[in-house]
């Protein structure tokens, strides 16, 4: 992120950002300040649209949503993570280069001192002179050992720091692919793994199925019981889908109340059965608020299922599953619809 705002504009954006943070009951931390300053400036159209849509549909902001929007619309995922790690690597390499230079200086100084001692080894030396030179040699050897030990320790420290950076980059990369509310993959993670699954299905000529799912009348749940209850319902749906799959299968939250399950090596009939089992799980549930015991009513899901067609592009594959999901919604909800039913 780069800001080239005038002082007056910066102050105006700051005041507006702080007002918005207070209005939505969020902590005044760097992440929220960054989000709402960006929003106040109006320079990030995608972020502003996402915030406006979220407020219109849900009316409230949570810290989980703040993190999600920051990762999606400001942090830029991999690019920003790479930048951060690159800067830290620069510091590590600067320390290594400094250690090499310091060690070389010590070695060069000791080399000069030892050359001087060597030149002093003439036949006319007295016993006292020889003893003095021996002490000098021992001193230089200790200096060399000390420099070597220090250099080794610095290299070990650098190796340790590089290992930590690799772990940090891996963690950041994984976090960028996760939905903060449910801890299953987000849209970015889904898209990445969908591409890999399609490549494998084409290469091995194995089956690949996609289930799209959507919570029926979810806005009513939010409006009636509040967004905290709505978030808990989303978490429960995510956990149920995740617990229903296995092996290389993937569960993802694509946004809002929409979910997906990617099923490599799964036939169409198996995917249809899995979707219906998940549907029945929720149809049979009688969900209640923990705090009051109040019933939430029936929470149902609609599903669309598609089987991959060889050499089909990802967008078409997802679109067919989406169309099937839409058909489930249009024909009564709480049902599973198969896309194309195996037609080539």
What is the predicted pLDDT for the residue at 344?
42
Residue that the structure tokens 């050992």 belong to: 145
Determine the Cα–Cα distance for residues 120 and 341; give it in Å rounded to an integer: 95
- 238 touches 182 (CB < 8 A): yes
Q: Is residue 121 part of a domain?
A: yes
For the record, the structure tokens of 120 come out as: 């002093």
Q: Is there a catalytic annotation at residue 257?
A: yes
Of the residues 131, 257, 283, 294, only one is catalytic, namely 257
Domain that holds residue 324: 187-342
What is the predicted pLDDT for the residue at 251?
97
SS3 49: helix
CA atoms within 13 A on the CB side of 4: 0
What is the predicted pLDDT for the residue at 188?
87
pLDDT tens digit at each of 344 positions of the chain = 445 556 666 777 788 888 888 888 888 777 788 888 888 877 777 788 888 888 887 778 887 788 888 877 776 544 555 666 667 777 777 777 777 888 888 888 878 888 887 888 777 778 888 788 788 888 888 888 887 888 778 778 877 777 777 777 677 667 778 888 898 999 889 999 999 999 999 999 999 999 999 999 998 888 888 888 888 899 999 999 999 999 999 999 998 899 999 999 999 999 999 999 999 999 998 887 777 777 778 899 999 999 999 989 999 999 999 999 999 999 999 999 999 654 44
What is the predicted pLDDT for the residue at 162?
74
51 and 116 in a common domain: no
Q: Which of 120, 148, 176 is the last residue of a domain?
A: 176
What is the predicted pLDDT for the residue at 343?
44
In sequence order, which residues have a C-beta less than 8 Å from that of residue 4 and are 6 or more positions away? none
Burial class for 106, CB neighbours closer than 10 Å (0-12, 13-18, 19+): middle
pTM summary value: 0.60
SS3 124: coil
Report which of 273, 271, 231, 238 is spatially closest to residue 252, judged by C-alpha positions: 238
302 and 197 in a common domain: yes
332 and 209 in a common domain: yes
For the record, the structure tokens of 323 come out as: 């169309």
- 85 touches 93 (CB < 8 A): no
Tally of domains within the chain: 3
324 and 220 in a common domain: yes
In sequence order, which residues have a C-beta less than 8 Å from that of residue 299 and are 6 or more positions away? 215, 216, 221, 233, 282, 285, 287
């Amino acid at each position: 992120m780069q800001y080239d705002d005038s002082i007056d504009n910066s102050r105006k954006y700051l005041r507006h950002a702080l007002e918005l943070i207070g209005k939505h009951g969020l902590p005044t931390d760097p992440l929220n300040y960054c989000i709402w300053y960006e929003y106040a400036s109006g320079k990030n159209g995608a972020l502003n649209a996402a915030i406006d849509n979220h407020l219109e549909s849900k009316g409230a902001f949570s810290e989980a949503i703040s993190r999600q929007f920051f990762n999606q619309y400001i942090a830029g995922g991999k690019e920003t993570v790479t930048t951060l790690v690159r800067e830290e690597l620069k510091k590590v390499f600067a320390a290594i280069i400094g250690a090499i230079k310091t060690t070389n200086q010590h070695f060069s100084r000791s080399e000069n001192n030892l050359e001087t001692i060597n030149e002093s080894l003439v036949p006319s030396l007295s016993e006292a002179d020889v003893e003095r030179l021996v002490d000098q040699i021992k001193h230089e050897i200790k200096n060399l050992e000390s420099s070597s030990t220090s250099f080794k320790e610095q290299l070990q420290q650098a190796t340790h720091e590089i290992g930590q950076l690799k772990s940090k980059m891996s963690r950041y990369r994984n976090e960028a692919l996760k939905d903060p509310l449910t801890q299953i993959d987000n849209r970015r993670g889904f898209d990445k793994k969908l591409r890999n699954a399609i490549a494998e299905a084409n290469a091995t000529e194995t089956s690949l199925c996609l289930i799209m799912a959507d919570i029926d009348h979810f806005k009513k749940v939010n409006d009636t019981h509040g967004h905290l209850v709505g978030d808990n319902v989303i978490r429960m749906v995510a956990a149920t889908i995740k617990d229903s799959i296995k092996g290389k299968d993937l569960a993802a939250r694509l946004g809002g109340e929409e979910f997906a399950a990617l099923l490599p090596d799964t036939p169409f009939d198996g995917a249809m059965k899995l979707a219906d089992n998940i549907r029945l799980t929720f149809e049979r549930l009688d969900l209640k608020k923990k705090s009051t015991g109040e019933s939430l009513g029936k929470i149902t899901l609609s599903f669309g299922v598609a089987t991959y067609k060889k050499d089909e592009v990802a967008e078409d594959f997802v679109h067919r599953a989406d169309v099937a999901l839409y058909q489930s919604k249009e024909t009564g909800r709480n049902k599973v619809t198969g896309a194309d039913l195996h037609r080539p």
